[in-house]
Structure 1
Amino acid sequence: MAVGLLGHEVSDLCLGKPALRSLPITATLSDAVSALKRSGETCLSVWSCDHSYECECECECVGKISFFDVICFLCKDENLNRVSSLFQSPISLVLDKDNSNVVRHVEPHSSLFEAIDFMLEGTQNLVVPIESRMSKSSKKTLAKSTSFVSTFHKGREYCWITQEDVVRFLLNSISAFAPVASLSIELLGIIDTDILAIPYYQPAYAAVEAISLSNKHQTSVAIVDEQGCLIGEISPYTLASCDETVAAAMATLSAEDLMAYIECGGSPDELVHLVKTRLQEKNLVAMLNLMEELSLSFSPSSSSCSSSDDEEMSVIRHGKSASYSARMVRKSEAIVCHPRSSLVAVMIQALAHRVSYVWVVEDDCTLTGIVTYSGMLKVFREHCRSSA
């Protein structure tokens, strides 16, 4: 039964998926920032193609871009002092050259077996053509549009499939994987102990390389205290939900202060002031000007947490959590499980909180590892191989 489940076509996972919004590879960083803000998407696909109908070349998705990429690009050593000029750079400079297989085109009739194999090789997004109900004339009109955000490529639309989509599909038929799904993650051997972690007092800037690496592996960077207890995280997903001004905070604050800076949907005034002061001290004038131009104005209700929220955050930061159930109180608060948690329970946690991983902690909140969607997919793939 499980083998038959993975024999489904990827088109089955495309039902109801929206068409991809995209940018041309020739767009500038400024274009990408504007498009991300207008679209409301956490990321946009990047395409290399000529949309004129006279051109016979194929359209190809070559990557994706989010504010995470923008922030990490601005935080590079060689870029800190020339931020203003960087926004006219082509987005090809922003895309990670070492992560060229992040997207891959597949046909709608490709099987889930193939999809999972591609994902285990490192592909994050499978690009799949989908049917459009628009007329040919309407497609041509949109294809010739000068707008930087487009959904049509030579009259075709595409969606993409992620690890999350596959895991959710498998969870809907989890009984097909009995009894494996009910076994603990410890027994299944999918707790990865090779994790990225930094002390809370370390400068956030020192973690830029680790954060970039975590994006490649679709994980996160753990923030720990002196005893190795997990107190939070800095994740690519969180940074993708921010804006370019967070680059200034990353360049000046500690890991713990950066977590506070992006909490509650707004930045505490004292931290904003601290960032500006340190930018002046480091003579990062361009970064300071960027922050001044784009700084957000928060009302007291949106820029600070309530007293009850503060108490809960204090409990978490000092490693005294009373349970291992999934928590979603803060953007930088880590979702955790226990080594004896079942695979299906961890799947539900990850899907419920829209993360591709769950941290594993012991009874004293000591961080011991991480469980990822990739690890889960390996279990299901091996189960089907042994059942075939």
Structure 2
Amino acid sequence: MAVRLFSSNEVSDLCLGKPAIRSLSLSDTVSDAISLLKKIPESYVSVWNCHHSLNHHRHCVCVGKLCMLHIICFLSKPHNVNALSLALQSPISLLLTESAALVRHLPPNASFLEAIDAMYEGVQNLVIPIVNQNHSNSRKRGAEKSQYIESNQDYKTKYKYCWLTQEDVIRYLLNSIGMFSPAPATPINTLNVIDTQNLLAINYDAPASSALDLLSLSLINGSSVAVIDSQGKFVGEISPLVLNSCDESIVPPIATLSAGDLMVYIDAGGPPEYLVQLVKERLEEHNLRAALEMLVGDETGQSSWSSHSSSSSSDEEFCSGKNCKQLGVYSAKVVRRSEAVVCYPWSSLLAVMIQALAHRVGYVWVLEEDGTLTGIVTFEGMLKVFREHLKTMS
């Protein structure tokens, strides 16, 4: 029954009410990406091999997704910290070397099972065409699907696109959870869902900059970077979700603080004054003037480089310069505390799903009773459990 249901339901049904995705071209610059990300409520933008709002040929496709953390990791590299103005003018293609496999196009009449299969293979976002309400000659749904098959080029002029995420699919599966009994009530340590191989962790006292490669991997794995002590006990995390709520002024703290101090710095209460002062002192010590200006601005509270990465916008849309520093280096997007979501090996799959969905994260850390970090459960891992279950039912 479940296989039949998911084979007949179409992915377009999950896109109802979703906004059209914002887009950039591979030829756009890092500063273009910063400007767009500061203006929109979404945390990610789509990246295309063309300006797809202007080009409608069949070879215009989405090749990746971009968020503020991609930019932060790029700007935080030592050679870019020393040449920020130049780094801001770099093409965003440099930031997306491994993200193409995370995105895939599907037609609106693809089945929900096809969406699960794609995400089973590691895809994080599906790009689904949605009706462009501004098109004057839109037709009935069935005719539109046929037209998609007949003329991909004409179809693109009639449609915009939306993201379908792993979270969307997990929420849908939760509504049909009874069909998968007894797996949802089974402890996760018996379901082969705890990932111990791709565990990203850093010591509390290690330089925060040493987490940059791990943070880049976390975007590919849909996970996060754990902070542990010398005994392997879980202390907290450097969360991609929290860093996505920051602006570029988080780059100097990453370049100068330890992992543990950075975790404190990005907490939603705002950075403590002693850490702000510590960052300033270390920037001055290493003569990193551009990074210091990025952190504190000039006497007016604005950075000279900010013109590279901002365009006209009201204070209600996003903060910048001095105002942003007062808010603790956060943009206008929803700020989340760096408190991590954890579970235990004997937690049920259903409980872990609900935890992740409730906190709007794609992963849950797995700890032993003494606080030792043993693994992580991600949305991708959960989807694999459900897909394997569906295979046994077909």
Q: Which TM bucket (shorter chain)?
A: 0.7 to 0.9
In structure 2, the residue matched to 1:226 is: 230
Q: Describe the SS at the equivalent of 1:245.
A: helix
Q: Describe the SS at the equivalent of 1:264.
A: coil
Q: Does 2:244 correspond to 1:240? A: yes
With structure 2 as the length reference, what TM-score do the two structures score?
Answer: 0.83
Deviations 1:104-148 (A, max 9, x none): 1111121222222222222111000011222449xxxxxxxxxxx
Q: How far apart are the structure 2 equivalents of 1:54 and 1:23?
A: 12
- Runs of 4+ in structure 1 displaced over 3 angstroms? 50-58, 152-155, 294-300
In structure 2, the residue matched to 1:199 is: 203
Q: Does 2:280 correspond to 1:279? A: no
In structure 2, do the counterparts of structure 1 residues 204 and 187 end up closer, same or farther at CA, with 3 Å as the change threshold?
same
Q: Does 2:366 correspond to 1:357? A: no
Between 25-34 and 245-254, report the one with greater CA deviation.
25-34
In structure 2, the residue matched to 1:76 is: 77
In structure 2, the residue matched to 1:117 is: 117
Deviations 1:306-359 (A, max 9, x none): xxxxxxxxxxxxxxxxxxxxxxx9622110011111111100000001111100
Q: Does 2:65 correspond to 1:61? A: no
Q: How far apart are the structure 1 equivalents of 2:269 and 2:5?
A: 40
Q: How far apart are the structure 2 equivalents of 1:54 and 1:45?
A: 15
Q: How far apart are the structure 1 equivalents of 2:277 and 2:85?
A: 21
Q: How far apart are the structure 2 equivalents of 1:52 and 1:75?
A: 31
In structure 1, the residue matched to 2:92 is: 91
In structure 1, the residue matched to 2:384 is: 378
Q: Describe the SS at the equivalent of 1:247.
A: helix
Deviations 1:208-249 (A, max 9, x none): 111111111111110012222211101222211111111111
Q: How far apart are the structure 2 equivalents of 1:280 and 1:122?
A: 43
Residue identity opposite 1:13 in structure 2: L
In structure 2, the residue matched to 1:343 is: 349
Contact conserved, 1:59 with 1:153, CA < 8 A, in 2?
A: no
Q: How far apart are the structure 2 equivalents of 1:348 and 1:237?
A: 18
Q: Does 2:189 correspond to 1:186? A: yes
Residue identity opposite 1:279 in structure 2: L
Shift of 1:56: 4.1
Q: How far apart are the structure 2 equivalents of 1:162 and 1:5?
A: 20
Shift of 1:207: 1.2
Q: How far apart are the structure 2 equivalents of 1:79 and 1:113?
A: 43
In structure 2, do the counterparts of structure 1 residues 99 and 46 end up closer, same or farther at CA, with 3 Å as the change threshold?
closer
Shift of 1:263: 0.8
Shift of 1:253: 0.5
Residue identity opposite 1:335 in structure 2: V
Q: Does 2:16 correspond to 1:15? A: yes
In structure 1, the residue matched to 2:337 is: 331
Contact conserved, 2:28 with 2:92, CA < 8 A, in 1?
A: yes
Q: How far apart are the structure 1 equivalents of 2:186 and 2:53?
A: 54
Q: Does 2:361 correspond to 1:366? A: no
Residue in structure 2 matching 1:289, options 280, 290, 293 = 293
Shift of 1:14: 1.0
Shift of 1:299: 9.3
Q: Does 2:175 correspond to 1:169? A: no
Shift of 1:298: 7.1
Contact conserved, 1:261 with 1:268, CA < 8 A, in 2?
A: yes
Q: How far apart are the structure 1 equivalents of 2:52 and 2:236?
A: 44
Shift of 1:70: 0.6
Q: How far apart are the structure 2 equivalents of 1:136 and 1:54?
A: 19
In structure 2, do the counterparts of structure 1 residues 53 and 34 end up closer, same or farther at CA, with 3 Å as the change threshold?
closer
In angstroms, what is the RMSD of aligned CA positions? 2.4
In structure 2, do the counterparts of structure 1 residues 52 and 111 end up closer, same or farther at CA, with 3 Å as the change threshold?
closer
Residue identity opposite 2:68 in structure 1: F
Q: Which runs of 5+ in 1 are unaligned?
A: 138-151, 304-328
In structure 2, do the counterparts of structure 1 residues 296 and 337 end up closer, same or farther at CA, with 3 Å as the change threshold?
farther
In structure 2, the residue matched to 1:318 is: none
Q: How far apart are the structure 1 equivalents of 2:372 and 2:10?
A: 41
Task: Give the fraction of aligned pairs with identical amino acids, expressed as a percent.
Answer: 54
Deviations 1:150-199 (A, max 9, x none): xx964521001111110000001101111111111011121111211111
In structure 2, do the counterparts of structure 1 residues 239 and 298 end up closer, same or farther at CA, with 3 Å as the change threshold?
closer
Shift of 1:267: 2.1
